[in-house]
């Protein structure tokens, strides 16, 4: 099966094509430090055979958290707890990436200001954010840079920039949430500027041999919002700064989405073909046959199984066993098969 073939990007060799995507656990301490829950959560998936584990959304600043119990990477004190988990995952053969993020207007942290491109709230259930000044934007760019440096110190094999799901970078990208009239708003080039500045500073400090991933929402599911064709334009603009696109959709507004197994795969296929860039496909993928179809028909290079890996951390070696490939099953577990 192609699902169990190795994949290499830059200097990173992944043992199979299965990715655990970032999924918020909301289990960190109030100051963003990882704990034993995270150690168990991630190392179990590594034992289960996942090729690449992308750690959940990790805030580059305190006000950048989605909730008060998000992981953080805004202080050196966060490095040790993350490194312990990274080392455990590597010991079981998995590669690791850290997703760094700023929630923008979708932050629910009551003790911090909410910051966004404009003072437009996500919904009536959210507070109205403060519109960012140019000086504050420059500081946020530096926050991403410092977060990348700390992620490298923690030993991550790759870094993912979260530009999707309605968080800050996505808020800058979409004309529905960015109505600025300065150099960060208006034209597509201006709306891309914040993302591009983040990628530039990250590239300056992130090791060349380690890949940079970008999570994107390929559709806002709203009239006049980002669609797949515009996302292709966006990726063309920043193509030189990233190594793989992790293709999702939605999250900008509380929009209704018709979700079904593989519903986001066409976005991945379009971006892969039109941008000549490797992609990770995601979207209610839980069956090996669907994952194999996506890979074999070159609709993506890697497949992410989110909810399925929450339900079954041993999905990889269970699937391998069903296909008479016991190479993924740790010796301690082989008596079960």
What φ, ψ does residue 29 adopt, rounded to 5°?
-65, 170
- Residue 72: beta bridge partners? 59
Q: Are 122 and 106 in contact (CB under 8 A)?
A: yes
Collapse the DSSP code of 319 into the 3-class scheme (helix H, G, I; strand E, B; otherwise coil) and give the result. Answer: helix
Which pLDDT score, from 0 to 100, does residue 336 have? Answer: 82
- Considering the chain, what is the average pLDDT of its residues? 96
The predicted pLDDT at position 329 comes to 79
pLDDT per residue as tens digits for the range 194-240: 999 999 999 999 999 999 999 999 999 999 999 999 999 999 999 99
Q: Where are the domains of the chain?
A: 2-336
pLDDT at residue number 275 = 98
pLDDT of residue 333: 84
What pLDDT is recorded for position 196? 98
Give how far Cα 82 sits from Cα of 35, 126, 308, 314, Å. 9, 30, 24, 22
pLDDT in tens, 8-23: 999 899 999 999 999 9
Q: What is the pLDDT of residue 8?
A: 96
- The reported pLDDT for the residue numbered 142 is 98
What is the DSSP secondary-structure string of 1-67?
Answer: -GGGS-EEETTEEESSSEEE-------S-TT----HHHHHHHHHHHHTT-SEEEEEEEESSGGG-SS
> H or E element: which one contains 214?
strand 212-217
- State both tokens at 300: 């993506």
DSSP annotation of 278 reads -
Domain 2-336 has CATH 3.20.20.70: yes
Instruction: Give the pLDDT confidence score for residue 334 in this predicted structure.
Output: 81
pLDDT means over runs of 10, the chain (337 residues): 94 96 97 98 97 98 98 98 98 97 97 96 96 98 98 98 98 98 97 98 97 98 97 97 98 94 98 98 97 98 97 94 80 83
Q: Of 97, 94, 162, which Cα lies nearest the Cα of 313?
A: 94
0.95 cut: is pTM over it? yes
Tell me what pLDDT residue 145 has: 98
Residue 335 pLDDT: 83
Which neighbouring-strand residues pair with 181?
none
Is the distance from CB of 25 to CB of 32 less than 8 angstroms?
no
């Amino acid at each position: 099966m192609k699902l169990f073939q190795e994949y290499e990007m830059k200097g990173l060799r992944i043992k199979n094509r299965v990715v655990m995507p970032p999924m918020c656990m909301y289990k960190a301490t109030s100051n963003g430090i990882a704990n034993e829950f995270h150690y168990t959560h991630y190392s179990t998936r590594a034992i289960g055979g996942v090729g690449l584990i992308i750690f959940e959304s990790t805030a580059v600043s305190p006000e950048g958290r989605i909730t008060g119990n998000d992981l953080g990477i805004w202080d050196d004190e966060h490095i040790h707890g993350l490194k312990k988990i990274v080392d455990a995952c590597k010991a079981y053969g998995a590669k690791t990436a850290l997703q760094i993020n700023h929630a923008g207007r979708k932050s629910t942290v009551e003790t911090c200001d909410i910051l966004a491109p404009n003072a437009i709230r996500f919904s009536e259930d959210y507070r109205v954010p403060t519109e960012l000044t140019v000086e504050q934007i420059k500081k946020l760019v530096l926050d991403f840079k410092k977060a990348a440096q700390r992620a490298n110190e923690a030993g991550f094999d790759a870094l993912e920039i979260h530009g999707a799901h309605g968080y800050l970078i996505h808020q800058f990208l979409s004309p529905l949430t960015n109505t600025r009239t300065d150099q960060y708003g208006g034209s597509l080039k201006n709306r891309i500027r914040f993302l591009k500045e983040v990628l530039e500073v990250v590239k300056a400090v992130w090791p060349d041999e380690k890949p940079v991933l970008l999570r994107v929402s390929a559709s806002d599911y709203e009239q006049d919002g980002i669609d797949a064709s515009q996302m292709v334009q966006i990726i063309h603009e920043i193509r030189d700064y990233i190594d793989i696109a992790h293709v999702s959709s939605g999250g900008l507004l509380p929009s209704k989405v018709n979700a079904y197994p593989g519903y986001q795969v066409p976005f991945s296929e379009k971006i892969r073909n039109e941008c000549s860039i490797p992609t990770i496909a995601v979207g209610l993928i839980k069956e090996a046959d669907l994952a194999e179809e996506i890979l074999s028909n070159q609709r993506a290079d890697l497949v992410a199984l989110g909810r399925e890996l929450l339900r079954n951390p041993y999905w990889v070696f269970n699937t391998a066993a069903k296909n008479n490939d016991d190479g993924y099953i740790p010796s301690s577990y082989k008596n079960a098969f």
